[in-house]
Amino acid sequence: MIKGFTLSSNYFIISTFMKYIIQPIINIIADFGDALWFLGDMLRCIFSGRVRFKEVLKQVYEQGLQSVIIIALTSLASGLVIAMQSLVVLIRFGAKEVIAPIVALSLVRELSPVFTALIFSGKAGARITAELGSMSVNDQMLATRTMGVDPVEFLIVPRFLGCIIALPVLTVISEIIGIAGGYCIGIFEAHIPGTFYINQTIKAIRYVDFFSGMIKVVFFGILIGWVCCYQGVITKGGSLGVGKYTTQAVAYSYIFIILSNTVLTKTILNIWG
């Protein structure tokens, strides 16, 4: 009895370990491989010149228009808050004139790229996943292929490129509006001359600062487009599945943006300082 009990308990432990530890790891590796293959399909389509520019421009317009208002409001609030918090500290040291570089560099190097990417993934990214997911569960992609049209070329690549193009434009808008928010605090609260504030802002922002933020944004756009398009394509389970995979796409985008931002920031600082 004791030997039989030991064998059964060992079998239970091994089967539990396989089910809850090994199998999820295998599934993650398999899913990542499928996602890489999907990215390869998109890149092959792009570099072979099979890009429908009219559809790309349509996606840039729709994705940008969908996100611009909330990004503008968030950026304005961020600029105001950074300026107010900085002013409280700088007044103690008699250095309130430094408020302009602090606001500008905080937004250009870090806050605007990250905040814009997060908001964009929650708005435009979710929309992309929901659209492609609805097409997947209704067999519209299969119908498109049956008619002789490649769904990767016609449906997926325009949305992917739309993310990469629209996100930098929205980030520049975010930076301008955020700096404008800091300008308002500098003028009305710190009583800094407007011309002086603008000159300090221009002097503070170097090419390295601007392009380091743009490098992040382009990378974020690739991540958002890849994750959201892939989640949309693999959607299954009807209308409930569309909601599930859309939520997953946004959650994965948030995680990848935050983690990759850490790696990119360290890499850029090591290269450019």
Angle at the Cα of 53 from the Cα atoms of 47 and 56, rounded to 5 degrees = 95
pLDDT in tens, 215-264: 999 999 999 999 999 999 999 888 888 999 999 999 999 999 999 999 99
d(CA 187, CA 183): 6
d(CA 174, CA 116): 7
Residue 52, SS3 per DSSP: coil
Is the pLDDT score of 193 beyond 70?
yes
For residue 244 the two structure tokens come to 């599930």
Highest mean pLDDT (candidates 32-36, 204-208, 216-220, 267-271): 216-220
d(CA 201, CA 118): 25
pLDDT in tens, 143-166: 887 887 888 888 999 999 999 999
pLDDT at position 273:
60
For residue 241 the two structure tokens come to 């599945």
Mean pLDDT of 193-202: 91
pLDDT in tens, 84-129: 998 888 888 878 888 999 999 999 999 999 999 999 999 999 999 9
Is the pLDDT score of 5 beyond 60?
no
pLDDT in tens, 56-75: 999 999 898 888 999 999 99
Residue 207: partners with Cβ closer than 8 Å, 6 or more residues away? none
Could you tell me how many residues make up the chain?
Answer: 273
Number of C-beta neighbours around residue 3 at 10 A:
7
Q: Where are the domains of the chain?
A: 51-272
Is the pLDDT score of 38 beyond 60?
yes
Full-model pTM: 0.88
